[in-house]
């Protein structure tokens, strides 16, 4: 082994895993040199604008195109009747349903797509869209999912009224989609029957929207001479989209190219295929010219993938010491007018059954009933893995409710119920096997860091003072997430397994190009994947180029969503690098004239055991691999491809603590302190992890304190612009304190678990728990989000504590 200063110098040069390396991809964005879909300009390109319904539920009596077609610049107006000859007026959804591409005879939600106007520029297209005259007959609308299954409820989906099964089991009503269950109901019921203490609470996860910086859009270009279709689009999963487009269009998948390019945020919103994409593609195939469709912000909030809208009931059974004996969670899921929720085929309610959280709960049962309403479809996992946020919110709220009922401190009740470190791997009563964890040390580290006892003492003093103008709340959330959508035995989309891939090519001088099946939207992939390869191959991260998002270049993969990049693609990257390293070792042994077993790896080279001066660096091996001086029968080059299908999902966890001060007279909540400890296993780039946590916590803050998509009784959307929908700025966003522990994932090649979604999943219940804790001494057990100043003021008013 070399001297320590030499080893450190070589290690530092690599900038591999564990280094806070500045993000490689940021330079072009800072300089305004990113390429977004709306930057694409192709010769002869036409622009599409969508005509949308003003009604949530109505029959289409007629569509008059004449005034629009007379508008200067308008080339065509497409309706469902124009798509019928190619059988593309309906399309399959990820949720196993079908969805109208353009409304056929009836609209089922406000802002539903009715027609697309094609014009020579976007202004003419917008003018033409305003001139399309649609005669509607308004019908009664359902916006409350609890009324959707009433006997006299209006039938929303007449196209499937006679279908008894929508691929997820029998339906009980024309507006019913599926019933999904997990766990042992009989065992859970027995636990409740015998329990000393039972608590129950109705808990709403309101409908929210990810609202990424860039709205959705595409440029579709069909070449009639070659039969080749190229689609530039805002997608988080280019390969999956290409497969679906092949199924829809009849164009061979080998002749379809999907290019993701730069994407201004995704957060789940850019996983589904939206009608605008399909109409633009059909229009390009028919006209033979490129078609661009870019939605407005109002269109984006109104019609693209929402999140949550889960109406839950949580129940816990426990003994008098607070030890949980049973859990029952049920939810009514509002899926909107079409079941296009992004969920794995086998798991229509996603990973909701992670709702036992970090706790050793012997008996559990959960059930989700999904229904149609006259709202926009397209439910997505807003910065979480398929309903995990809803699950974690339920268990973390109910743990607080139980603690309050028993008069036990909220940190203590968590200690008593945690899965212990020696119990891992731990299989929950709902069937998931938690890979590794150390929940007790994480909790204690946070409590010590914030002086939890001191905070509780301060709170008690304030509660004892009737003249205190503020209420103080302390929120805890000790969560376990489930990420890395991947194991094909559990997860697939439309039958396609959620494995992922990496192809690495090493050049003679040691430069590397790596291509992956994921799709970055700001996660820092170009940096973190390069750091994995740098550590594995001993080649500097600065010399490693990472490419994603172009289906003509990268190997097949399921894309980036559900926090699957590091758990799945990161593993594929490490495995591909190790294939190259194994070949490099054979070359080194050949050059050094020793057996492979006589070599050991040292940062960036193979050395002869006991004689470190005798070595071959990876850069030397790279050059030799492209010459003829190789072991007999060995091919030139250092290239490898790896496809990784994980044996299990990964389970990052954390402990968050929030302190809020609430003004009794205005209802304004100020976050005094937020301390976030995350354990994501092996940490690849601490600085990028920090950034992802800050971003996730900011979105959690938005959901907890302001985000909600409201509707009136007629299905009118009441919050579809940024004048109404809350996006926090630097002015509102609290200061974040971050911390970590490291508990590697035992089945992952580098021990990584994923982190970007954890702060959103854990942050929301932590904020909510803090606000509700401020009122706990007054007998309040639950308050639904969002905790806006007005809603909190209403609670103060109801309690009569805001009288001066």
Q: Which residues of 306-327 are buried (b: 16+ CB within 10 A; e: fewer)?
A: bbbbbbbbbbbbbeeebbbbbb
How far is it, in rounded angstroms, from Cα 239 to Cα 244? Answer: 9
Residue pLDDT, tens place only, 252-286: 999 999 999 999 999 999 999 999 999 999 999 99
Given 236, 521, 708, 795, the catalytic residue? 236
How far is it, in rounded angstroms, from Cα 168 to Cα 786? Answer: 32
- Is residue 702 within 8 A of residue 726, CB to CB? The reply is yes
pLDDT confidence of residue 167: 85
Given 216, 355, 384, 491, the catalytic residue? 384
Quickly tell me which residue has 């966003």 as its tokens: 733
Q: Residue 655 above 90 pLDDT? A: yes
pLDDT confidence of residue 804: 81
Residue pLDDT, tens place only, 494-508: 889 999 999 999 999
Q: How many CA atoms lie within 13 A of 371 on its CB side?
A: 26
Query: Is 459 labeled as catalytic in the residue annotation?
Result: no
pLDDT confidence of residue 495: 87
Given 390, 536, 548, 757, the catalytic residue? 757
Q: Residue 749 above 90 pLDDT? A: yes
Picking from 17, 98, 768, the residue whose alpha carbon sits closest to that of residue 398 is 768
Q: Which residues of 376-411 are buried (b: 16+ CB within 10 A; e: fewer)?
A: bbbbbbbbbbbbbbbbbbbbbbbbbbbbbebebebb
pLDDT confidence of residue 61: 98
Given 171, 308, 383, 397, the catalytic residue? 383
Q: Residue 1 above 70 pLDDT? A: no
Which positions ≥6 away from 608 have C-beta within 8 Å? 592, 594, 598, 599, 614, 615
How far is it, in rounded angstroms, from Cα 42 to Cα 230? Answer: 12
Query: Is 593 labeled as catalytic in the residue annotation?
Result: no
Mean per-residue pLDDT of the chain: 96
pLDDT confidence of residue 329: 98
> If you compute the radius of gyration of the chain from its CA atoms, what whole number of angstroms results?
28
pLDDT confidence of residue 154: 97
Query: Is 708 labeled as catalytic in the residue annotation?
Result: no
Residue pLDDT, tens place only, 405-447: 999 999 999 999 999 999 999 999 999 999 999 999 999 999 9
List, in sequence order, every residue forming a beta bridge with 202; answer none if it has no partner: 313
pLDDT confidence of residue 803: 87
pTM: 0.97
Residue pLDDT, tens place only, 514-569: 999 999 999 999 999 999 999 999 999 999 999 999 999 999 999 999 999 999 99
Tell me if residue 783 falls in helix, strand or coil: coil
pLDDT > 70: percent of the chain: 100
Q: Residue 176 above 80 pLDDT? A: yes
pLDDT confidence of residue 2: 61
pLDDT confidence of residue 64: 98
Calculate the CA dihedral of residues 380, 384, 389, 395 and round it to 10 degrees: 140
306's tokens:
């929402």
Q: How far, in Å, are 529, 574, 589, 621 from residue 607 at the CA level?
A: 26, 21, 9, 12
H or E stretch covering 501: strand 500-506
List, in sequence order, every residue forming a beta bridge with 737; answer none if it has no partner: 675
Query: Is 757 labeled as catalytic in the residue annotation?
Result: yes
Neighbours of 466 (CB within 10 A): 6
Indicate the pLDDT class of residue 487, thresholds 50, 70 and 90.
very high
How far is it, in rounded angstroms, from Cα 696 to Cα 676? Answer: 11
């Amino acid at each position: 082994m070399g001297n320590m200063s030499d080893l450190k110098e070589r290690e530092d040069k690599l900038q591999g895993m564990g280094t806070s390396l500045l993000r490689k991809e940021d330079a072009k964005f800072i300089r305004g040199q990113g390429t977004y879909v709306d930057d694409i300009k192709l010769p002869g390109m036409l622009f599409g604008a969508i005509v949308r319904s003003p009604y949530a539920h109505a029959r289409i009596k007629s569509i008059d195109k004449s005034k629009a077609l007379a508008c200067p610049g308008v080339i065509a107006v497409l309706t469902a009747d124009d798509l019928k000859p190619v059988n593309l007026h309906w399309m399959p959804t990820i949720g196993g349903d079908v969805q109208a591409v353009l409304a056929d005879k009836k609209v089922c939600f406000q802002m539903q797509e009715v027609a697309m106007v094609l014009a020579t520029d976007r202004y003419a297209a917008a003018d033409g869209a305003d001139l399309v005259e649609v005669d509607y007959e308004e019908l009664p609308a359902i916006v409350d999912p609890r009324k959707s299954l009433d006997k006299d409820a209006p039938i929303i989906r007449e196209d499937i009224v006679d279908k008894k099964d929508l691929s997820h089991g029998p339906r009980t009503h024309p507006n019913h989609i599926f019933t999904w269950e997990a766990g042992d109901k009989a065992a859970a019921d027995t636990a409740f029957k015998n329990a000393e203490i039972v608590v129950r609470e109705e808990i709403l996860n309101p409908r929210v929207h990810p609202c990424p910086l860039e709205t959705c859009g595409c440029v579709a270009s069909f070449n009639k001479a070659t039969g080749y279709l190229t689609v530039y689009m805002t997608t988080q999963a280019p390969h999956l989209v290409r497969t679906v487009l092949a199924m829809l269009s009849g164009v061979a998948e080998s002749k379809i190219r999907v290019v993701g390019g730069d994407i201004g945020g995704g957060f789940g919103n850019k996983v589904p295929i939206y009608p605008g994409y399909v109409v633009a593609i059909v229009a390009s195939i028919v006209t033979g010219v490129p078609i661009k469709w870019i939605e407005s912000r109002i269109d984006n909030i109104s019609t693209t993938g929402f999140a949550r809208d889960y109406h839950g009931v949580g129940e816990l059974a426990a003994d008098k010491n607070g030890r949980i004996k049973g859990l029952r969670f049920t939810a009514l899921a509002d899926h909107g007018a079409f079941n296009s929720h992004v969920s794995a085929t086998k798991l229509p309610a996603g990973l909701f059954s992670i709702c036992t959280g970090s706790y050793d709960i012997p008996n559990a049962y959960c059930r989700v009933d999904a229904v149609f309403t006259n709202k926009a479809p397209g439910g997505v996992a807003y910065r979480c893995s398929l309903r995990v946020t809803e699950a974690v919110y339920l268990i973390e709220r109910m743990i607080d409710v139980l603690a309050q009922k028993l008069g036990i401190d909220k940190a203590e009740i968590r200690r008593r119920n945690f899965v212990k470190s020696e119990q891992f791997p731990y299989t929950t009563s709902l069937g998931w096997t938690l890979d590794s964890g150390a929940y007790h040390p994480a909790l204690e580290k946070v409590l010590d860091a914030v002086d939890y006892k001191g905070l509780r003492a301060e709170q008690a003093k304030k509660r004892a003072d009737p003249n205190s103008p503020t209420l103080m709340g302390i929120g805890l959330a000790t969560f376990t997430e489930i990420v890395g959508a991947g194991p094909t035995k559990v997860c697939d989309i439309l039958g396609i397994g959620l494995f992922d891939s990496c192809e690495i090519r090493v050049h003679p001088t040691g430069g590397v190009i790596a291509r992956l099946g994921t799709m970055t939207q700001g996660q820092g992939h170009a940096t973190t994947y390069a750091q994995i390869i740098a550590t594995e191959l001993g080649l500097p991260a600065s010399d490693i180029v990472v490419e994603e998002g172009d289906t003509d270049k990268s190997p097949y993969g399921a894309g980036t969503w559900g926090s699957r990049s590091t758990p799945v693609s990161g593993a594929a990257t490490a495995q591909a690098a190790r294939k190259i390293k194994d070949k490099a070792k054979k070359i080194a042994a050949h050059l050094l004239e020793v057996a492979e077993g006589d070599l050991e790896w040292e940062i960036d080279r193979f050395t002869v055991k006991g004689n470190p001066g005798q070595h071959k660096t990876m850069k030397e091996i790279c050059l030799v691999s492209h010459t003829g001086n190789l072991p007999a029968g060995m091919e030139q080059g250092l290239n490898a491809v790896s496809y990784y299908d994980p044996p299990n999902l990964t389970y990052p966890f954390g402990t968050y603590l929030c302190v809020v001060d609430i003004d009794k007279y205005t209802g304004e909540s100020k976050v005094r302190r937020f301390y976030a400890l995350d354990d994501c296993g092996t940490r690849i780039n601490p600085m990028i992890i920090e950034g992802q946590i800050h971003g996730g916590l900011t979105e959690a803050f938005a959901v907890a304190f302001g985000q909600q998509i409201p509707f009136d009784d007629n299905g009118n959307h009441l919050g579809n612009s940024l004048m109404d929908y809350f996006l926090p700025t630097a002015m509102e966003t609290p200061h974040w304190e971050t911390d970590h522990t490291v508990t590697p994932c035992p089945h992952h090649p580098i021990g990584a678990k994923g982190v970007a979604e954890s702060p959103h999943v854990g942050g929301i219940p932590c904020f909510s728990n803090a606000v509700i804790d401020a009122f706990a001494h007054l007998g309040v057990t639950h308050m639904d989000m969002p905790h806006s100043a007005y809603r909190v003021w209403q609670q103060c008013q109801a309690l009569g504590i805001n009288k001066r």
